[in-house]
Chains A and B, each alone.
Chain A
Amino acid sequence: MPFSRRSFLQNLFAGAAVAGQEWKPAPTVAPPGPRPVLVETPDLPKLPFTIDNGVKVFRLVAEPVKTTFLPERPVDCWGFNGSMPGPAIEVTQGDRVRIIVENRLPEIFSAHWHGLEVPPEVDGVPGLGIDPIPPGGSRTFEFSLHQHGTFFYHSHMPMQEMMGMIGLFIVHPPQAYEPRVHRDFGLIWQGWSILPNNTVPNTLAMEFNWLTINGKAGPDTTPMIVKTGERVRIRMVNLSMDHHPIHLHGNTFYTVGTEAGRIPQPWEPGNTVIVGVAQARDIEFDAVYPGDWMLHCHLPHHMMNQMGSSIRGEVVPNYPLGEHAAMGHATHPGMPPAAPEAWAVKGYPQDMWMVMDDAMAAKPENHGLRPGWSAAMMGMMTLVRVVDPPTFDRIQALKAGQQKGGR
Chain B
Amino acid sequence: MTRALLSMAAILAWIVSANAQAPAPITLDELERLALASHPSLAAASATIDVARHAAAQAGSWPNPSVSYVGDEIARGPINRGGEHGVVVDQRIPLGGKLRLSRRAFEAGIGEAEAGRDRARLQVLAGVRVAYHMVVAAQLRLDVRRNLATLAAEAGRVSAQLFNVGAADRPDVLVAEMDASLAGLDVVEAESALARAWTQLAAAVAQPRMPQRAVAGAAGDALPELPRDETLAAALAASPELAEARAAVTRAERELAVARKVTSPDLLLKGGPRYNRELLEPDNRPVGLEWAVEAGLTIPLWDRNHGGIAASSSRIAAARAAVAALELKLIDRYAALYDDYRTARRRAEVYRSDILPKATEAYQLYLARHRAMAASYPQVLMTERALFEANERYLAALEQVRTTAVSLTALLAEP
Q: Taking each of A194, A195, A204, which has the highest tally of chain B beta carbons within 10 Å of its own beta carbon?
A: A195
Considering the complex, which residues of chain A in the window 195-219 have a beta carbon less than 8 Å from any beta carbon of chain B? 195-205
Residues 150-190 of chain B: 1 if any A CB is under 8 Å from the residue's CB, otherwise 0? Answer: 00000000000001111111110000000000000000000
Is A195 a contact partner of B165 (Cβ separation < 8 A)? no
Q: How far is the CA of A205 from the CA of B163 in the complex (A)?
A: 13
Collect the chain A residues with CB atoms within 8 Å of residue B168's CB.
Answer: 195, 198
Collect the chain B residues with CB atoms within 8 Å of residue A205's CB.
Answer: 166-167
Q: How far is the CA of A138 from the CA of B204 in the complex (A)?
A: 74
- Interface size class, chain A: 10 to 19
Q: Which of A197, A199, A202 interacts with B167 by CB under 8 Å?
A: A202
- Interface flag for A193 (CB, 8 Å): yes
Collect the chain A residues with CB atoms within 8 Å of residue B171's CB.
Answer: 197
Is A200 a contact partner of B163 (Cβ separation < 8 A)? yes
Closest to B169 in A: A195
- Interface size class, chain B: under 10
Residues of B within 8 A of A (CB): 163-171
Collect the chain A residues with CB atoms within 8 Å of residue B165's CB.
Answer: 200, 202-204
A interface, over-half SS: loop
Residues of A within 8 A of B (CB): 193-205
Closest to A204 in B: B167
Minimum CB–CB distance from B287 to chain A (whole Å) comes to 127
Q: List 23 A-B contacts (CB under 8 A).
A: A193-B166, A194-B166, A195-B166, A195-B168, A195-B169, A195-B170, A196-B169, A197-B169, A197-B171, A198-B163, A198-B170, A199-B166, A200-B163, A200-B165, A200-B166, A201-B166, A202-B165, A202-B166, A202-B167, A203-B165, A204-B165, A205-B166, A205-B167
Closest to B163 in A: A198
Minimum CB–CB distance from B364 to chain A (whole Å) comes to 24
Is B166 a contact partner of A197 (Cβ separation < 8 A)? no
Identify the 10 closest CB pairs spanning chains A and B, nearest first: A200-B166, A197-B170, A202-B166, A195-B169, A202-B167, A197-B169, A201-B166, A198-B169, A198-B166, A194-B166
Q: How far is the CA of A196 from the CA of B163 in the complex (A)?
A: 12
Closest to A201 in B: B166
Collect the chain A residues with CB atoms within 8 Å of residue B167's CB.
Answer: 202, 204-205
Q: How far is the CA of A196 from the CA of B170 in the complex (A)?
A: 9
Q: How far is the CA of A194 from the CA of B166 in the complex (A)?
A: 6
Minimum CB–CB distance from A401 to chain B (whole Å) comes to 38
Closest to B172 in A: A195
Q: How far is the CA of A202 from the CA of B163 in the complex (A)?
A: 9
Collect the chain B residues with CB atoms within 8 Å of residue A204's CB.
Answer: 165, 167
Is B170 a contact partner of A203 (Cβ separation < 8 A)? no
Minimum CB–CB distance from A209 to chain B (whole Å) comes to 11
Collect the chain B residues with CB atoms within 8 Å of residue A199's CB.
Answer: 166
Q: How far is the CA of A46 from the CA of B22 in the complex (A)?
A: 68
Collect the chain B residues with CB atoms within 8 Å of residue A201's CB.
Answer: 166
Q: How far is the CA of A201 from the CA of B163 in the complex (A)?
A: 10
Closest to A77 in B: B166
Q: How far is the CA of A162 from the CA of B351 in the complex (A)?
A: 45
Collect the chain B residues with CB atoms within 8 Å of residue A202's CB.
Answer: 165-167
Collect the chain B residues with CB atoms within 8 Å of residue A197's CB.
Answer: 169-171
Minimum CB–CB distance from B126 to chain A (whole Å) comes to 50
Collect the chain B residues with CB atoms within 8 Å of residue A203's CB.
Answer: 165-166
Q: How far is the CA of A388 from the CA of B241 in the complex (A)?
A: 111
